[in-house]
Amino acid sequence: MDAPPIRDAAVVFHSGTILAVGSAQHLRQKYPHAIREDLGNVVLLPGLVNAHVHLELSDCRCGKPPAGGFAAWLLQLVQRNSQPGSQIESTVTQAVRIGVEQCLRFGITSVGDITRQASITRPLLRDGRLRVTSYGEIQAMAQRRNLFTERLAVAADATFASDWLRIGISPHAPYTVEPFGFAACRTAGMENHFPLATHLAEAVEEAEFLSHHTGPFRELWKAIGQWDERVPTFTGGPIRFAQSVGWLELPALLAHVNYCDDEEMSILAAGRAGVVYCPRTHRYFGHPPHRWRDMLARGVNVALGTDSCASSPDLNLVDDARLIHEIAPDFPVESIWEMVTIRGAKAIDGEQSIGSIAPGKCADFVGFGVESETPLREILESGKTPLRTWIAGQAVEHQP
Ligand SMILES: [Zn+2]
């Protein structure tokens, strides 16, 4: 971990910020007037960071993957977003509430949230209870190309930015945003210090679509019905595509990267972008094994995310950590916890304030009751849920 586990530890915080962390005995002497609470046999971890989620889809149930594969699954989501305005507002409001409540219940205190409905979700999230980096999502390809400027303006609208809500920008994916759009998002992100995110190399068919405009993504466009031939082709696959639009030089968040050959791995490793692997979503779609260990070994930041409830049973990020512990039982458990704390914080550009228990950082914690001498392993090898979660020093109260 960023800081190694401390036995008989204490943490002192004030006004939502950590002042000190160390041995309980030492801190009791140093801060004799602090209000004390003994948590007993609890391991206290940094509040978890779910680096890739779509809160506005939290009312979805993932069921079995559609027979038509990933593109067919996407089409279902496109149809959901074409509900009439009043209906979408109530659906999204309800979904965000469910999503926030689930996050808090599962010990998540910060999220990287992708939102297609920023004008609905941001007013709901601006005042807490969860820390949110809200990446406004843009889709604007082919005949929808002209919508790009307007959609970028919505995504980058900082009206609802607050201590709880940071604005970010997310061109959806290389099969829904053209190179000029990725470049413009990059510029807007750099000018405004907005973090950037996109979905990349999520499905094997992306390369074929980019180079020839054929395959399941083209079928998706047929169903949407607004294709035109002015979309540029690109040869070399999605990772080189991201490189060509200048995205790998930045600490951008690349969700998934489920497909990455050795040459692409070298390209990624030479850049600064980070990867968010979503283990249960990855399993849902039956992708070949993810190369997260190779990526980490090559110095790429890899964090974990749940993705949305449309492809994952729920937002229990610890279950995603459990899945990779199952896949790689020899991989150090401390490093798995890093992927849901400090590496998640890095992925959403928040490592200055969240992701570890250190003086000056936000007093965001999650406590798990433990019995053994190896608590980090114990949590991964059991079905334990948090005993309590704190955000900004306040214990979270769960809402029905
Ligand atoms: Zn996603």
Beta strands (DSSP E) in the chain are 9-14, 17-23, 42-46, 48-53, 108-115, 131-138, 165-171, 197-200, 253-256, 274-277, 302-304, 365-369, 388-391, 394-395
Give the span between the Cα atoms of 386 and 276, in whole angstroms. Answer: 23
Question: Rounded to the nearest whole angstrom, what is the distance from the C-alpha of residue 258 to the centroid of ligand 1?
Answer: 12
Residue 364 is assigned to a structural domain of this protein:
no
Question: Rounded to the nearest whole angstrom, what is the distance from the C-alpha of residue 288 to the centroid of ligand 1?
Answer: 18
Concatenated DSSP letters of 262-309: HHHHHHHHTS--EEEE-HHHHHHTTPSPP-HHHHHHTT--EEE----T
Q: What kind and span of H or E run contains 191? A: helix 179-192
Count up the domains in the chain and report the number.
1
The domain containing residue 256 runs over which residues?
A: 46-357
Question: Rounded to the nearest whole angstrom, what is the distance from the C-alpha of residue 306 to the centroid of ligand 1?
Answer: 9
Number of residues in the chain = 400
Say if CB 260 and CB 201 are below 8 A apart. yes
Residue 37 is assigned to a structural domain of this protein:
no
- Can you give the CATH number for the domain in which 327 is found? 3.20.20.140
Please report the pLDDT score of residue 4 as a whole number: 63
Residue 10 is assigned to a structural domain of this protein:
no
Say if CB 396 and CB 47 are below 8 A apart. no
Pairing of strands 302-304, 108-115: unpaired
- Per-residue tens of pLDDT for the chain, all 400 residues: 456 677 889 999 999 999 999 999 999 999 999 999 999 999 999 999 999 999 999 999 988 888 888 888 988 888 777 778 779 999 999 999 999 999 999 999 999 999 999 999 999 999 989 999 999 999 999 999 999 999 999 999 999 999 999 999 999 999 999 999 999 999 999 999 999 999 999 999 999 999 999 999 999 998 888 999 999 999 999 999 999 999 999 999 999 999 999 999 999 999 999 999 999 999 999 999 999 999 999 999 999 999 999 999 999 999 999 999 999 999 999 999 999 999 999 999 999 999 999 999 999 999 999 999 999 999 999 999 999 999 999 999 877 6
> Max alpha carbon distance in the chain (Å)?
72
Residue 110 is assigned to a structural domain of this protein:
yes
Please report the pLDDT score of residue 120 as a whole number: 96
Whether the pTM exceeds 0.85: the reply is: yes
Give the span between the Cα atoms of 365 and 369, in whole angstroms. Answer: 13
Please report the pLDDT score of residue 2 as a whole number: 52
Question: Rounded to the nearest whole angstrom, what is the distance from the C-alpha of residue 172 to the centroid of ligand 1?
Answer: 9
Please state at what angle helix 118-125 crosses helix 148-155, rounded to 10 degrees. 0
Question: Rounded to the nearest whole angstrom, what is the distance from the C-alpha of residue 308 to the centroid of ligand 1?
Answer: 6
Question: Rounded to the nearest whole angstrom, what is the distance from the C-alpha of residue 53 to the centroid of ligand 1?
Answer: 6
Question: Rounded to the nearest whole angstrom, what is the distance from the C-alpha of residue 305 to the centroid of ligand 1?
Answer: 9
The residues placing their C-beta within 5 Å of ligand 1, an ion, are 307
Question: Rounded to the nearest whole angstrom, what is the distance from the C-alpha of residue 348 to the centroid of ligand 1?
Answer: 14
- 156-166 CB burial, b ≥16 within 10 A, e <16: beeebeeebbb
CA 182 from chain center: how many Å? 19
Question: Rounded to the nearest whole angstrom, what is the distance from the C-alpha of residue 173 to the centroid of ligand 1?
Answer: 10
Residue 285 is assigned to a structural domain of this protein:
yes
Residue 36 is assigned to a structural domain of this protein:
no
Question: Rounded to the nearest whole angstrom, what is the distance from the C-alpha of residue 199 to the centroid of ligand 1?
Answer: 6
Strand, helix or coil for residue 239: helix
Question: Rounded to the nearest whole angstrom, what is the distance from the C-alpha of residue 26 to the centroid of ligand 1?
Answer: 45
Between CA 280 and CA 286, with CA 282 as vertex, the angle to 5 degrees is: 115
CA distance to 69, 139, 224, per residue, from 74 (Å): 9, 13, 11
Question: Rounded to the nearest whole angstrom, what is the distance from the C-alpha of residue 72 to the centroid of ligand 1?
Answer: 15
Residue 19 is assigned to a structural domain of this protein:
no
Please report the pLDDT score of residue 317 as a whole number: 98
Question: Rounded to the nearest whole angstrom, what is the distance from the C-alpha of residue 113 to the centroid of ligand 1?
Answer: 9
Residue 162 is assigned to a structural domain of this protein:
yes
Question: Rounded to the nearest whole angstrom, what is the distance from the C-alpha of residue 275 to the centroid of ligand 1?
Answer: 12
pLDDT digits (tens, 9 = 90+) for 209-224: 999 999 999 999 988 8
